[in-house]
């Protein structure tokens, strides 16, 4: 990628000293109002960055989403989406998983890794749904978490995206990000869920889950975040964990929204003919 070029009017930029002061304030006990306002600004920035965020697992029914989410453990959504068309065609209903031939099922899901454990979970899920719920996947948290292969995180994915019931999807990556941003210091996933849920309107829980996950995959990487082009930077106590120089940070941005994300941060990417592409521009 070519070096980014500033395309928006100058505005206050984050720096390490500001981030250090913010981190110290958080460590000393950030006020509830101060944290709520800071999180609110970050939520608005995330919504602007990812207006089309959605569950990146392909599905058409609640059962398909449950299966895809089980397969996504230790596997990319992209790989899962490559496997599920044939899987869903072969096993369209809970009864099909309940009576599945283990060897055949394992071969279909082998590319997702840990295929033996996942096959056990899928067969158990099918049997439980058939026996306990008349072959229909239930739509409540209490019922979902009692099913094989479904924990609280998976249940919230299903509820939020297949049933329209707001839920926060707290996995390792979500927890890492909200701790990095100073939203909570909790480590336990359930405590993280409750802490973040208190900061975010319930109606927004599902979309906030998508926004946080998208940002982690595109910008706020675990080892080397793209701090220099991050629109959350002015409110982030961890600014400087990754490169703060925009040129160095820009090459770390991933995903199809790269040009849009750089434009929001105030930068465009110069093309070979010298034109600067920013969000909203048409192709030259």
Question: Which residue is listed with tokens 């981030």?
Answer: 19
Take residue 23 and report the two structure tokens written for it.
């981190």
Which one is catalytic: 134, 171, 224, 273? 171
Binding-site residue numbers are 220, 227, 230, 236
Q: What is the rounded end-to-end Cα distance, in angstroms, of the chain?
A: 17
Take residue 128 and report the two structure tokens written for it.
């439980």
Q: How far apart are CA 35 and CA 148, in angstroms?
A: 38
Q: How far apart are CA 87 and CA 262, in angstroms?
A: 38
Asked about 153 being catalytic, the answer comes back as yes
243 CB contacts (<8 Å, ≥6 apart)?
224, 226, 227, 228, 249, 252
Q: How far apart are CA 253 and CA 227, in angstroms?
A: 10
Cβ pair 30, 194 in contact under 8 A: no
CA torsion 42-44-49-50 (nearest 10°) is: 110
Asked about 188 being catalytic, the answer comes back as no
Q: How far apart are CA 129 and CA 149, in angstroms?
A: 12
Q: Is residue 126 helix, strand or coil?
A: helix
DSSP string, 187-204: -SHHHHHHHHHHHS-GGG
Binding-site residue numbers for [4Fe-4S] cluster are 220, 227, 230, 236
Which one is catalytic: 153, 191, 235, 273? 153
CA torsion 136-141-143-144 (nearest 10°) is: 60
User: What is the chain's percent helix, strand, coil content, to nearest 5?
Assistant: 55, 5, 40
Q: Which residues are catalytic?
A: 153, 171
């Amino acid at each position: 990628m070519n070096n980014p070029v500033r395309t928006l009017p100058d505005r206050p930029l984050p720096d390490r000293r500001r981030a250090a002061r913010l981190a110290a304030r958080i460590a000393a006990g950030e006020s509830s109002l101060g944290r709520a306002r800071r999180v609110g600004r970050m939520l608005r920035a995330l919504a602007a960055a990812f207006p089309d965020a959605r569950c990146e697992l392909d599905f058409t029914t609640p059962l398909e989403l449950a299966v895809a989410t089980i397969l996504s453990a230790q596997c990319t959504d992209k790989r899962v989406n490559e496997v599920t068309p044939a899987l869903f065609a072969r096993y369209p209903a809970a009864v099909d998983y309940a009576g599945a031939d283990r060897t055949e099922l394992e071969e279909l899901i082998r590319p997702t890794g840990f295929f033996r454990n996942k096959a056990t979970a899928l067969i158990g899920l099918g049997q439980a749904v058939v026996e306990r719920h008349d072959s229909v996947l239930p739509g409540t948290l209490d019922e979902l978490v009692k099913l094989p292969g479904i924990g609280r995180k998976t249940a919230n994915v299903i509820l939020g995206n297949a049933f329209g019931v707001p839920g926060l999807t707290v996995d390792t990556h979500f927890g890492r990000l909200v701790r990095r941003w100073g939203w909570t210091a909790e480590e336990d996933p359930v405590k993280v869920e409750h802490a973040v849920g208190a900061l975010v309107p319930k109606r927004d829980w599902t979309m906030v889950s998508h926004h946080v996950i998208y940002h982690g995959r595109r910008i706020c990487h675990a080892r080397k975040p793209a701090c220099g082009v991050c629109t959350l930077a002015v409110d982030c106590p961890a600014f400087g964990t990754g490169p703060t120089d925009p040129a160095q940070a820009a090459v770390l941005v991933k995903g199809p929204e790269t040009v849009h994300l750089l434009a929001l941060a105030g930068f465009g990417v110069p093309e070979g003919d010298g034109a600067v592409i920013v969000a909203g521009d048409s192709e030259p």
